[in-house]
Structure 1
Amino acid sequence: MSAPHFSAAFRQELEQLFIWRRDVRHFRTDPVAESVLDGLLHTACLAPSVGLSEPWRFVRVDAPERRAVIRANFAQANAQALTGHNGDDAQRYATLKLAGLDDAPHQIAVFCETDPTQGRGLGRGTMPQTTVWSAVMAIHTFWLAAAAQGIGVGWVSILNPAKAALALSVNPNWQFLAYLCVGYPQEQASTPELERKGWEYRNPARRRWINR
């Protein structure tokens, strides 16, 4: 099988996908079709992984009681985070909606099996954390695949990871990495919400090489 040719038009559309991929915080409540969700998982598993270890573990969180525990976890962590900001920062932080936990129809926790037998340890001898990095690559692949279909993803990072893992009753050897809210966004934008609300701005210096 010969490799495909990616046209200039495709490359331009791919760049638009990168530009319009957002961390979504405001969701519609109508669900995504199960076949579409299954397709996103399939695409996510095309991500590269060290030694072909595929260490990611995607966990659907559908049970209301488990979602309620995660929601309480977020509320506690968010209240603690607010105390770390003062003055204008505290006011800005208080206006941000930092989770889609109330509206997003789908919630997905992502874990990493940090020392899987699959891959037989290849590439992990000196940098064992590469399994975690591989799982993060799968998250990003899932995110881009979702954005390409007009589906929003929001990464809820304001959580106590140990409590989140305990609430989901998974393998105790799995490392909690991400809690994703998934659904159709209420609105779409080509710039981050944090930038639109004045929290932070992209730094042009990050787009330049550091030469040594």
Structure 2
Amino acid sequence: MTKRAESKYKIDRRMGENIWGRPKSPVNRRQYGPGQHGQRRKGKVSDFGLQLKAKQKLKGYYGDVSEKQFRKVYEEASRRKGDTSENLIGLLESRLDAIVYRAKFVPTIFAARQFVNHGHVSVNGVRTNIGSYVCKAGDVIEVRQKSKQLVTVLESVQLAERDVPDYVEVDHQKMVATYQRIPSLSDVPYPVQMEPNLVVEFYSR
């Protein structure tokens, strides 16, 4: 389980944005950072500061992925043909935990990683317990038979706060999702604006 799971809303407050669009986010009540200096007046942010914040926000959104892992995703995105920022989003959305979250099998991205780590999911019929596993278009992700009646799964499917995007096809009766295609930035339903172009600038300095 990620070390950030118990204090995930600190990420929201540090960014000053409700990055998952959740009704319980403390940013809905307090739009300043955590800690005794959270309400200090902020000066003008440098280009580096903007790039760093964009990187931390995107990294935090996917369950506060470790810096080493996030950098590896960036390096893979830069190796691939095409726009690096679009490749970066495509790779992050292709993570198994991200697809489990998009399919609404779990309420949060943090829960998705734990759900996968505990062996509740199979990919193309093979049990897979690595959240960072990269799925390909056409892969079938299924909640394992013994896990389909878990309370967290049944409650998550009913959540009205977010919809399943069109690049993931889901049958909530069978608890099966098909990853239809790799999305572009404009396809991904981020509740706040993400700026992968600034993340690319951060790493390519």
Of structures 1 and 2, the larger Rg is shown by 1
TM over 0.5: no
Question: How would you bin the TM-score normalised by the shorter chain?
Answer: under 0.3
More strand per residue: 1 or 2? Answer: 1
Higher relative contact order by CA 8 Å / sep ≥ 6: 1 or 2? 1
